[in-house]
A and B are shown apart, each in its own frame.
Chain A
Amino acid sequence: MTRTADVVIIGGGVNGLACAYNLAKRGMQNIVVLERGYIGIGATGRCGAGIRQQWGLEENIILARESVRIFEQLSDEIGFNIFFRQGGYLILIFDEEEYQLVSKTIPLQNDLGVPTKMLTPGEIGDFVPGVNLDGLLGGAYCPTDGTAYPYAVLWGYGEAAKRRGVDIRVKTEVLSVSHHRDSGYEVVTADDTFRTPRIVNVAGAYTKNIAAMLGIDIPTQPHRHEIAVTESLKSFLEPMIISITKGFYFSQSLRGEIVGGIGDDNETPSFSTDSSPDFLFRYAASLRQTLPALGNVRIIRQWAGLYDMSPDARPIIGTVDDIEGYYHACGFSGHGFMLSPVVSQLLSELITTGSTSLPIDSLNLRRFSQGDLVKDPYVVG
């Protein structure tokens, strides 16, 4: 059956649902979200739930800061508890070079309103009981960073969008997308064909596949990233603990589980989300090294999701030159969940008004053809 829509959003992850909600809130009608599986089957539902503002580049810090401001009142706004908890992020530093870099970046973060401070190993020991101080030079701590429950964010945005009339279709895979100069876009699924003047392509690691249907080349690569969760324990761990150089992170969820992962430099691009034994061994070793008491805790489940890696590990957001009515947000390189509130808001501004309240030009796809890529030194894994 052929249907028409004012906008078709491809991808029912956090960026898709949040974008649908923000568009509906701005008065747009006839919004359709297409999701190939269930809500959260992709990277959102598999992510580590962290939300941090400690970045090295000014624009990343600003985006993250604005995201946190939205997260702070999001439960209230959408009437759904997203379990946002500002337990802070503690970046453990074991490396002199990293220590210098972080020390230099903290003033920049402070100037932009992010209250990061450097803790000495002694202060870390008092703050996080049980942490192994061996080889530790210090730690950068930002108390307003935190975590939220990704599924609650999805369901909350989803319910709020539905209340505003958004049509969210699960188990609906996009089979093809084509663009016609006069009639706009045609999005074909197994049951329906949607005609729409604009599409929002937010399909995570699959965004490039959808874009390819329209002849757009997005230089991102899917990378498997694995995570594991332990049995639930009484709360004892306040912040999210990460190490940029060692590539691991873990935090205690509101349910009491320790959720975390570790990056793998040897990972080759693929759409595989299989579990691997290597990850289990490396992650267990890093947990026990960092917080030896965790040796007595049991891992109950490991899983994997896809990072959509862009060449400079920064997101690709906005329009594509010379292609009308096409918007996308991808290449989040593992940080899509934490940026989704602000990115979806900016996208909806762009779609409804043609401009954004924060500059996103430097995140446009065209940067890859212009060269000059700047990588954020704070990227983990």
Chain B
Amino acid sequence: MAKKILCHCEDVETEELYSALRQGYGDLETLKRYTGIGTGKCQGKCCFIQTLRLLHDMVTRTGGMEREATGPKDLMIDPDDIRVPTLRPPVLPLRIKDIVEGERGEP
């Protein structure tokens, strides 16, 4: 079955985002934790913008040709939630050994 993959790290497809919204988990920070979007190793480098795009399309009812026909129609999405979720350090996964030793040691 074809899937539109939203978050590659946690393997979350767009359908799962819609399903979370249908269940009432529409707040951005909650959506992130409920679906796992952006909680994987890359910490949302690719998926946040796509998530925001879907939320934005649902709020504004735009989206042109690729308007998600399967997306729920009447969800309460707070336009204020179309922003970057909290980003914490580190930027990249940081190996514990590298932190402790200060330099790259052999595995």
Q: Which of A231, A285, A287, A299 has the most CB of B within 10 A?
A: A299
Q: Given A284-B96, A288-B100, A295-B96, A40 and B30 touching (CB < 8 A)?
A: yes
The minimal Cβ–Cβ distance linking A8 to chain B, given in whole angstroms, is 21
- Contacting pair A170 B27 (CB below 8 A): yes
Q: Say yes or no: is A2 at the interface (Cβ < 8 Å to chain B).
A: no
Q: Say yes or no: is A236 at the interface (Cβ < 8 Å to chain B).
A: no
Q: Given A155-B34, A231-B41, A281 and B99 touching (CB < 8 A)?
A: yes
- Contacting pair A302 B96 (CB below 8 A): no
Residues of B with C-beta under 8 A to A303 = 86, 88
- Contacting pair B78 A298 (CB below 8 A): no
* In the complex, residue of chain A having the shortest beta-carbon distance to the beta carbon of B42: A300
Q: Given A38-B29, A155-B34, A303-B88, A231 and B96 touching (CB < 8 A)?
A: no
The majority secondary structure among interface residues of chain B is loop
- Contacting pair A287 B96 (CB below 8 A): yes
Interface string of A219-259 (1 = CB under 8 A from B): 00000000000111000000000000000000000000000
Q: Say yes or no: is A26 at the interface (Cβ < 8 Å to chain B).
A: no
Q: Say yes or no: is A262 at the interface (Cβ < 8 Å to chain B).
A: no
Q: Given A155-B34, A285-B100, A296-B107, A280 and B90 touching (CB < 8 A)?
A: yes
- Contacting pair B78 A171 (CB below 8 A): yes
Total contacting residues, chain A, CB less than 8 A: 30
Q: Say yes or no: is A275 at the interface (Cβ < 8 Å to chain B).
A: yes
Residues of B with C-beta under 8 A to A284 = 96, 99-100
- Contacting pair B34 A298 (CB below 8 A): no
Residues of B with C-beta under 8 A to A38 = 27, 29-30
A residues neighboring B (CB under 8 Å) = 37-41, 45, 151, 155, 170-171, 230-232, 275, 280-281, 284-285, 287-288, 294-303
**Can you identify 27 A-B contacts, CB atoms within 8 angstroms?**
A37-B29, A39-B30, A40-B29, A40-B33, A155-B25, A155-B34, A230-B96, A231-B93, A280-B94, A281-B99, A281-B100, A284-B99, A285-B99, A287-B96, A288-B100, A295-B105, A296-B107, A297-B96, A298-B93, A299-B90, A299-B93, A300-B41, A300-B93, A301-B89, A301-B90, A302-B90, A303-B88
